[in-house]
Structure formats: C-alpha cells, structure tokens
Structure 1
Amino acid sequence: MRSSAPDLLSESVSAILRGFQRSQGSSAAAQKTDLSLADWCAANVKIVDRQQWTLEDNPPLEAIYRDQCQLDGSHRGMAVIKGAQTRLSVYQFLKQLWRMARFSLNIGYYLPDQRMAFAFSGQRFRKIAETIPALKQQRRGDDTENLQIQTFGDSTIYWQWMGGKATTDALPLDALVFDEVRKMAIEDVMETEERLSGNTRFQFVDFISTAGYPDGDIDFIVKKRSDRRLWHSDCRCPEGVVLSDHFRPEAIECIREDQHTGEVFYFCQRCNARVNPLRPKVMGEFAGWRPETPGAELRGYHFPQTISTTVSPASMLRSYRTASAMGGSAMERLFQNKIGKPFVSPDKIICTLDHLRACEDPTLSWERSGHNYFLGADQMGGSIYAVVKKLLPNMKSQLVHLAVFEGKDAFDGLYALMRAFDISVAVVDEMINYNEAHKLSMSFPGRVFLASYHENDKMIRWLDRDGDIAADERRSARAIVNPYRVHLDRTKILEWSLKRYVNRENVIPNPLALCAEMIWEGTRQWVLICEQVLYTHLTHIVREKEAVGDESGGKYRIVFRNIGLDPHFVHSNAYCDAAMARTERMANVVMAEVV
C-alpha cells in the first residue's frame, strides 16, 4: 500500500494557473543575463542567511557552482547527497534565482511537506531574493505575500510538497527540484518527474538531500542514475584520499590527535601524510571531484562535512566520540548528517538475515498443494505478492509457497492458489484493483477477506464479527456490498508478524529450492524467490519514532518505513498471519502476545 500521488502545493488550482498565465503573458520581460551561475552569484549575491556569501577558499563548493553540465547538455541534472549545514540548499536557491534571471521558465520546487515548503519559500528563498537588487525589481507586487508562487519577470517558481491535494498535471514545468529527498517516497519522486517528459525546452531536474537509509531515496538516485563524484583530497597517494570513506562505526581512520599539543587534523592512513581536506588531488583530467561511474544520466556529488569550511576535524572527532558513547540512533545521525552517508541503526531493524536463517529447516520442501492452508496477498499496480502458510500443532506456522503474479491476469494466480491449497482463510489487499479483489472475495464467501490499514485499538478487526465496529461503518457501501473485510492496524500487525520470525515461530523450507520468473532489480529474470526476494523484503523495513505535529511538542508515534524498495512480501506475510489469526487457536495466541 502507498500514499496518493504527489500534487502541487495548493491554496487553489486557480491561483496557480493565474500565476502561470501572468508569467506567460509578460510583455516587458527583463533583460536576461548571460553570466554563468558562479559569475552571476559573484556579481549579485552579498549576504545569505546573515553571512557573507563567497566561494573563496572553498574549491569543492566552487566546482559545483561552476558545473555547467545542464547547459552543455552532458547531463540532464544533478543528484547531491550531503551532510547537514554544507550550504548546498543555498546553492539550490541561488541556482533557481539564476535560472529565472537567465531563462524564461517555470520551476517546480518540491519538499516533503507543506510546513517545510512554506518555511523554505518564506523564510529562506524570499529573503535571499530580496537581497539581490536586479531580482527585487522584477518581483511581481501581487506575489509578495504568496508563499506558493513567486514570479520574477517572466519566470515563476512554484513551491510544492509531496502529497498535496490540487491536481496540476497539466501545468507546464521546465525544471524540477526535489529537496530533502530522504523524506520522500521514491515512487512519488519518479512519478512527479514524469511531468517533464513532454517538455522540449529544458527538462532540468535536480535532487538534493542529506543522507537517509541505504539503497533508498537519495542514495538510490545517486547510485543508480548519477556519475557519483567523490572529492579526492591531496596526499602522497596517486589518487589522493576520500576522507569520508575512512569513517566506520567502529573507528575513524583519517583523524589524528597530537598527544602533546592536542591538535586534531586529517591524515591519510596509507601514506601517513597530513591532509588539507579542501586541497584537490589532480588525477589526469580530474581535480578533486572524480566520477565513479562516468557517463551516467545525472551529475552526482557526495558532499560530507569533512570538506566543509565550517566544520573542523576536532568537531568531527567530538561528534564521533559522542555518537560512540550514546550508540543506537546517535551513530545513524552522525553518518547521515555529518558524513553524508546512508546508514540505518541496527536497533531499528526488527527482522535480520540471522533471524531468518534461524527459522530455516533445509530438510523441508516447498509444496504445490495442500489442505486447510492460509493465504496473504499484497498488490501494487500490476503485481501481486502471495504467501501461503500452514498452521502447525505447536502454533508455529510453516511457509509452504511463495508467488509473484504480474500483468493483467495476475488475479488468476490467486484463484489457482485458493484451489490448490484449499485455502481456509485468505487476507488480500483491497487496493489498487478493488474490483478484482472484490470479485475474488465474492467467489469464496467467508474465506477471502479484503484488507486495509487503519489506526485501531485492536490489531485486527473483522468487520463481519466485531461488535465494536461503529454502526455507520457496518452500513457503509463497501460493507453492504462485501461484508468480508478486515481492518488492520499497520504498526501493530507488521511488528507482530515480523517478530514471529525473530521468535522462531515461522518455519522456512530450503530457501534455495524455490525459483520464480519475475521482474527483479529492473529486469525480468529467474530468481530464488525466498532467498533473494522474501529475505530482502523482510529485512528492508525499519521501525522508528515519528514526531506528531510540531517536534517541540515532544509527542511521537511508532511507524514503519521502507528501506529503498517497496517490501511487498512484508505486507503479504502480515496478511497471511492475520488470516491464521482468524482461527480460534491462533486468536488466543494473538490475545496473549499483543497488548
């Protein structure tokens, strides 16, 4: 299951369109600059965030400002994964102002939520624009108090957030910026990016974010789509040293503290040379920044605090020692916010590969048929992920079959499983293809229940038998058409289901003995569906605290977040466990285990 597709931040659609019409209808467009971004900033930008703006003595940042990849056509855009407070958000603000000063275009600037969009628009971007006289004169008077739309001459920037309510797919955009990608669903980002597909003018796209989880969000984009440029600091080694590569949770291998003077400095462990992190290593055609995967679609940069002009080696060492002493999420924050590298704290992952290995019984075989088994199925678009289990006398459950059905006939696979395994109870995701799911449920009345996630006091609510369900819910259109539905509390059911692996309450047959052909990692191929797919899904979801409302209020709730891919088998596995919980024997276990 996933959230709705992202839409434009909305005061109203009409207000957005009026802004677009104004920008298109300007008859007295201001003269455009022909300066590069770096030269335009040097000529026009003085103060940013109450600090003197300068690129002097900052070769890593200056090189990014002077990167003309989007103008010379070598790359469609940029992807930057960074540490916090490295001045890269300021770079994006100035880049959009320069674009509007150089071109006539419309920019969509995306942020994770409305609060952040308004803060960036009103408290940061607008204040920077007001310090630049040439742009201040072009600012439209009726936009001065608008946090959603800001127009300069014949160019407009639209401040947007993921998941807004207004539908603006038809609004022409020439450039997209995704800021703080780590807090966005990668599927939503890619769907929004499609809005540039019909544009024949620019198609500029930029991604920028502090680091998040491995293989997810910004890390996915940088790894899969960019040329991944790393900063090589000068030392005696032929390729210099990438300082951020020498930070590990167990130790820092690039910072030394003089025992006599107390001085803290960077050094290269290989050649033992003292290192100035900002001094670039010249490597043939490259100086400092060098791509790991040349020729990729996007220009990619990794910008850690080790190459920041405002963060000293001593500060980095103190932060590391503090994180080491605190443990847990403190080390995660250190790597994400200071080293700019994706990291997940081990205590956030409920189910690990070691837990799954402990559940294996290689003497057991996968089954093709059975009697009185249970089914869970999660659907997404044209794919269905199915888990079949049987309940053992000791109240453990055994995996007996896994399947992925793809294409327009995917539901035919569920009909086949219902018959082959004589399924007693199936719990099937009711969305996205509700009609097909409803038809399946009606074909097996009282055996197939349609599932949806709701915040509940109870982990599982069967709508056909729960006396606590409100009368208006029982009278709802869907309940009248199909009474065989179940509401699941997402957090409770996922945690309980995953912990059944942790507690060795699931038995897994030989994980190398079940193969399937499916789309995996972007291509159709034969895979070990248990070893490769199920295990990857079960270990790529984390449990974390999320602030409720303003973080200053101190209220939090527990949520589950995906690491990279959408782990469909996590949900189908939980649905299958819910199906077993409908039996009287298992229901008693659930009541005893879940508070």
Structure 2
Amino acid sequence: MSLADLLAEAMRRPGVTVPPSLSPRRRESGEIVAPDRPPLIAPGATFRSWCEDLGRAGMMVDGHPFSLADRPAMWEVFDQIPNTVEDAYGRTVVVQKGAQVGATVLEQLAALWFAVRFAPCQCLMYLPDRSMASYKSTNRFMPIARSIPRLHQLLTDGKAREGNVLTRVVRSLGSGFLFLWTHGREGGVTLSFPGDFLSLDEVQGITLEQVDRVTERLSASRIRFRLLLSTPLWPELDINAFFLAGDQRQFHSFCECEDGVALTPLFVESALRGRSDFPVKVLDGEWAYFCPTCGAVIEDTQRGRWVPHRPDGAYPSFHLSQVLSPTISPREILEAWGRADTVARRQNFFCRKLGTPFADASQVLATLDILRRCVDPALAWRESGKGCLMGVDQMGSFAVVTIVDRRPDGRMAVAHVELVYDLDPWARLDALLVQFGVTVCVVEQLPSIDSARQFAHRHPGTVWLITSYGDLEEFVVWGDVTVSKSDRKTAEDYRDRWTLRADRFRVLDWAAARLREGYICFPDPTGLIGEIRDQGAIKHGPVLSEVFWLHYSKTGLVLQDPEQAPTDKSVRAAKRLVLKLGLDPHASFSLLAVCLAWFRAYGTTHFLLPGVSDAADRTERVHRDLDRALPGLPSAVAAQLLEQTVVDPGTCGACSAFQEGFCQARGFNVKPSDPGCPDFLAG
C-alpha cells in the first residue's frame, strides 16, 4: 500500500492524528496524495493533455503505445470531455462512428478521468450484453489501467488481485466503474445503479426507451455527464437518432475550396445512388482522395476542421468514419464497396466503414419511388362507397383510418384515408362504416380495449379486433374459426368471437410485395387535404403524402441474422423484426389492418393476383378512350364508368349470368371484378 493510502487510512480512524508535515492533501482532482508526490492529474491539465502525458509516460492501449499525434481529427472530440463539474453538468456528447476509429478508447480514458478528476464519481459503462461488458472490462479497460502504475494501484489497493470483473472500485477516492448491459433480465441492470458518468458503447443494439431508462440513473448526480458512441445501423434509430438531435458535426478536409470538403458524405451519396464517382482517383499508381469541386488532391484527410451542419443542435454530435482513419487507405474502402454484393454486406459497408446508417429498399415497407409508381390517375378520392374495407390503428384519442375497395382489374384501391383527432374517435369511425358501406373492418384492440370492444359489439360480424401479434404459420388466425375451451363454456353474448391474431411481419411483408407490384394503388397523393398535428402544431395538408407515405417509408421489415438473434440453439432461424424507423408508423399499422380485412373478404389461402401490368394497360386504354369521347368528364364519373367497362376474363362481369351486380344463376349480389365460379358462362 502506498504512503498516500496509509495516510488516508490513518486519517479515517477515530482518535488518530497525523502530523501536519505528513498530512496528505486532496487536489482539485479529488485524488489524495502525499506531500512529496505529484498528483495523478497535474493542476490546469485538460483531458486531452492528460491523455497525451500518460501516453508519453508509457500508457498502452490494445497493446500499442497511446498517441494522438497521428489522429488530429480526434483532438476536438477529446476536447469535449469537460474539465470542471460545472462544464460536465447535464452535458451530452455523441459520436456516430465507423469501426475501429478510436472512439471506445476515448470512452475508457474519459471514465478514468472522471473517476479521478471528479471523485467521488460512479462511472456506469453500458454495453448491449453481459459478455461484451465482461470482455471490455478484462481485455480493454484493465490493460490500460495496468500500463498506468499509480492508477492501477488505486484500482487494486496495491493488492495482487484485481477484484470483480464487472465492478472496479477505487476505494481511496470513493469512485467506481460498473460494466453493465442493457439486454437480458428486464430492469436487472438498467434500474438499480445510481451514477454520475454514463457511457453507452455500441448502442446499435439498444432501444431509445432503454437509453431513457439508463439516463435516469444520473437523476440525483451533481455531474450528470452522458457519452454515447456506436456504429449506427438503422436511420433515425439508436445512435443516429441522437446524432441527428445534436449539431451534426462533419469533418471538412482542407482543399482549395473555402469551406474544405466533407469526404464521407460524398462517399455515402455515391454509394447510395449506385454511382462510381467516389472522391478518389489514381495518383502515381496509388489511390488518393481528392475534392470533386476544386480537384485538389487531399494527402491527409485529417488536416481540416469540424463543421456543425446543424448549429442549433442540442449538444455536440460527431460523425467519425474510416475515411479519417490513418490506418485505412482509400483503396481498402473502395475494395470493401466492391465486395458489398448483398443487402447485409452493403449495410456492413455503410455502417462500419462510413459510420452511416443504412436501410435497403427491400428492408422497408415502401420507398417514396415505389409509392409514386402506385399512383393511378384514373382513381379519385371518394366521400362515400359501398362494399369497402377499413383498417384502423387506434391510440385512444387518436385513430388512423385506411379505407379501400376492389377495382375491376382486381387491385386494391385506396378510397379514403383519415387522421381522427378526438377524445372519442369512435363516433367518427361509426360514421365512416356507414358512409363507405364497410363490409369488413379490422381494428387494433389496444390501448382502448373497452371502447374497441364496444365498437365491435355495435357492428357484430363487421368489426374485427386484433388481440395479439406473433410468429404464426399463417397470416392470420380468425376467432370464429378457432374456438378455445374457455369460449365453448362462455355464453354466446359474452364471447370474443370477432377477434383475430395476426403475424405482423408476414402481413406487412405481403403489403410491401403488393406495393412493389403496383397491386395496391392510390389516387392523387396531393388531392386529399386534412388536418395534421405534429408536436402540438396543427396544419392542413395532403394527408397521404405527408403522413401515410412517410410512415410507410419509416417501417422496417428485417430478417435478423441467426447469429445475432437470440433463438433456440437447435433452431437457427432468422428472427423477423418490424422496426419503427424514427417515428411510430401508425399509418403502416392501419394499412396492416386493412390488409387483414382484405384477407377476410377475399381469402387467405390463395390470392387472385392478376397480371397487374396487363390490367393497368387495359385501364389506361379505356381511360384514354373516355377522355377522347367525353372530354372534361369529372374524375368520379370516369371512375364509375371504368368500373363498369374494364372487365377481366374469368370474372363475374364477363359471365352471361351477371346483370347489374346480381348473379341470376346463383341468386346473390356480386361485383364485376369477383372471380368466376364453377358455373361461369362466357358472356
């Protein structure tokens, strides 16, 4: 045990006095040192200068001498670590990074700085799971501490054993390091530990709710400093959500341009657009970076400055890619892009090389390009209808409605969409059922379960409630088909007969495929104006394009790699995930509900998928003929004429027994677009 430790221990014992000449002194850093011994943190030192001093004194990081000399782009990032409690209080720093760019080293050194400089200080260091937390403590954190003898002595109290792997304690300072994780037992390590310094490493595996929960661990602290760093994964999720909320600093390398050039966004833009105009060219037989604007060759990408692209952001947020790494050449980055021949490899390139989130078109419900191709100029928004289907996602005092009908060519046509803002939206839903002659309506039961059930009881057999989601072998299990033992013992009036269970991923994946085919079609996206509320602001605008299409594009449909998914070891199946990319996509879940209504009306065991392109061509030809014959015809009238004119072979409308919506052969009402039955007679 050191002299300082012996003196500190003696001072804590009752009745023991220490001569003034030997009294230890507590520096601003909080460290107790002997009178003849310099403090671990020199007076006036900043975090960066302290790290550089430790590097010159022999500190090792991952087995290599530490130095920032070859990483000038990191200097400003290191300078974000505060030097006083006042600067630290309530501060957040975010680093959205590529792989192996030195950010985790920054986090570990920052924790050591806080433990000594602001003692007593509890440092909570979170990772996604326990194995990563244990590895980080044993294989990354402690080797750094061992290369700083005085710091290692503080951590071990001069003993040979280093203590608990997940809990490192500096008793003489009252500080500690807790290596925690966010996944696993609910609340087990996110709710129990008060702290002063909070770091979240590799938060791509963490939800925004988990970040909020662990942040509450700082509520009683006098410091409340938060450091988030990770490679990103999905746009507007995990680390990217926090980066976008900050001032979004990009590194501009010096060139002949006044503002320099931000190389990483240029790489991202070229890769996303599938172009080959990367800011790289061959110079003397080797690849080199250059500025596409001025043509200057950039020999060192780290000669430049950080520029905030959103100066009014809530806190400093940095985008740190491998373009700024002294160990990664432009050739390596280009070769990695050349190997990105699958969705998974492209995502790996964007996330780990460029430090940029990525979602492939195949991983979202629909892109805006796909949705624009689904617009049918022959369709018009409707105020009423007959035989329509309705899907509702309700949130108590807010409901999102999608109403569709079936076109003569077999396609699903959106007739009406609406955002219902009301303390009691159910009255409006009642009116819409009557207004559009809805035959099947599917509603999300939660959160207002009582109101939803009352709505279903008012319209028995028409309204169906989604009671749960799960991984099913089918798209949907209907409550009137599968009757439980409990239901059999329950009186008919009290049964939840009009209910269903659905596979959310399967249904939305079906909808995504139908959108790509053009099987689901829309009227003019700017033609329906409605009330839109966003963060307290109320405006009127095109509901379809500004809300519904936005929600579709923010819904992720992902098959998670079996190696990453916590599945049964004997069944290595990919996990199916529906992700909310930056917002809660209520319109997507309304579309899901109307697809379930479609399944109820037209079956789930098989789908009549007509040749959409052929049907669309016929519709377009008839539409042109109508325009020539009756110029200026109102769109609503034209749509009705089209429904009567465009008839698919093999449907009821082409049968000789069909007359004005009635089948004379079998004696019931049918639509012209209904599939023909075994009694079909060609007209």
Normalising by structure 2, we get a TM-score of: 0.71
Task: Give, in whole Å, the separation in 2 of the partners of 1:428 and 1:471.
Answer: 25
Q: Which residue matches 2:261?
A: 241
Aligned 8 A contact 1:69 1:299 in 2: no
Q: Which residue matches 1:459?
A: 475
Superposed displacement of residue 161, structure 1: 0.5
- Give the AA of the match of 2:80: D
Task: Give, in whole Å, the separation in 2 of the partners of 1:146 and 1:591.
Answer: 61
Q: Which moved more, 1:187-196 or 1:95-104?
A: 187-196
Q: Which residue matches 2:300?
A: 277
Q: Which residue matches 1:166?
A: 187
Instruction: Name which of 529, 533, 542 aligns with 1:528.
Output: 542
Aligned 8 A contact 2:365 2:511 in 1: no
Q: Which residue matches 1:434?
A: 449
Q: Which moved more, 1:526-535 or 1:397-406?
A: 397-406
Superposed displacement of residue 510, structure 1: 2.1
2:79 corresponds to 1:66? yes
2:163 corresponds to 1:144? yes
Superposed displacement of residue 84, structure 1: 1.0
2:233 corresponds to 1:212? yes
Q: Which residue matches 1:13?
A: none
Relative distance call for 1:381 and 1:192 in structure 2 (3 A) is: farther
Aligned 8 A contact 1:162 1:188 in 2: no
Deviations 1:438-477 (A, max 9, x none): 343344333332222111111110123136xx7579889x
Q: Which residue matches 2:518?
A: 504
Aligned 8 A contact 2:204 2:231 in 1: yes
Superposed displacement of residue 407, structure 1: 6.1
Give 3-state SS (helix, strand or coil) of 1:298's partner: coil
Relative distance call for 1:369 and 1:170 in structure 2 (3 A) is: farther
Q: Which residue matches 1:105?
A: 121
Q: Which residue matches 2:636?
A: none
Aligned ranges 1:85-234 → 2 under 5 Å: 85-103=100-118, 104-129=120-145, 131-139=147-155, 144-145=163-164, 147=166, 149-153=167-171, 154-156=174-176, 157=178, 159-161=180-182, 164-166=185-187, 172-190=194-212, 193=215, 196=218, 198-199=219-220, 201-223=222-244, 225-234=245-254
Paired positions, count: 551
Give 3-state SS (helix, strand or coil) of 2:401's partner: strand
Task: Give, in whole Å, the separation in 2 of the partners of 1:111 and 1:475.
Answer: 50
Superposed displacement of residue 299, structure 1: 0.5
2:315 corresponds to 1:315? no
Deviations 1:521-569 (A, max 9, x none): 7743323110111111222334333123567987534434333323221
Q: Which residue matches 1:486?
A: 500
Superposed displacement of residue 338, structure 1: 1.0
Superposed displacement of residue 268, structure 1: 2.5
Give 3-state SS (helix, strand or coil) of 2:442's partner: strand
CA RMSD of aligned residues (A): 3.7
Q: Which moved more, 1:311-320 or 1:105-114?
A: 105-114
Aligned 8 A contact 1:110 1:162 in 2: no
Task: Give, in whole Å, the separation in 2 of the partners of 1:329 and 1:268.
Answer: 30
Relative distance call for 1:321 and 1:158 in structure 2 (3 A) is: closer
Deviations 1:51-80 (A, max 9, x none): 222212211113211224685649821121
2:532 corresponds to 1:518? yes
Instruction: Identify unmatched segments of 5+ residues in structure 2.
Output: 1-11, 14-25, 33-39, 611-683
Q: Which residue matches 1:285?
A: none
Superposed displacement of residue 488, structure 1: 0.9
Relative distance call for 1:83 and 1:190 in structure 2 (3 A) is: same
Aligned ranges 1:194-593 → 2 under 5 Å: 196=218, 198-199=219-220, 201-223=222-244, 225-247=245-267, 248-249=270-271, 250-258=275-283, 261-281=284-304, 288-323=305-340, 326=341, 328-349=343-364, 351-380=366-395, 383-392=398-407, 394-406=409-421, 408-451=423-466, 452-466=468-482, 471=485, 482-520=496-534, 523-548=537-562, 555-583=573-601, 585-587=602-604, 589-590=606-607
Deviations 1:289-326 (A, max 9, x none): 22222242210111111111211223223223333xx2
Superposed displacement of residue 393, structure 1: 5.1
Superposed displacement of residue 135, structure 1: 4.4
Deviations 1:470-492 (A, max 9, x none): 7579889xx97634321111221
- The one of the two structures with greater contact order (alpha-carbon pairs below 8 A, sep at least 6) is 1
Task: Give, in whole Å, the separation in 2 of the partners of 1:126 and 1:570.
Answer: 48
Q: What is the percentage of aligned positions where both structures have the same residue?
A: 27
Normalising by structure 1, we get a TM-score of: 0.81
Task: Give, in whole Å, the separation in 1 of the partners of 2:133 and 2:398.
Answer: 34
Superposed displacement of residue 269, structure 1: 2.9
Relative distance call for 1:548 and 1:317 in structure 2 (3 A) is: closer
Superposed displacement of residue 405, structure 1: 3.2
Relative distance call for 1:145 and 1:509 in structure 2 (3 A) is: same
Aligned 8 A contact 2:531 2:538 in 1: yes
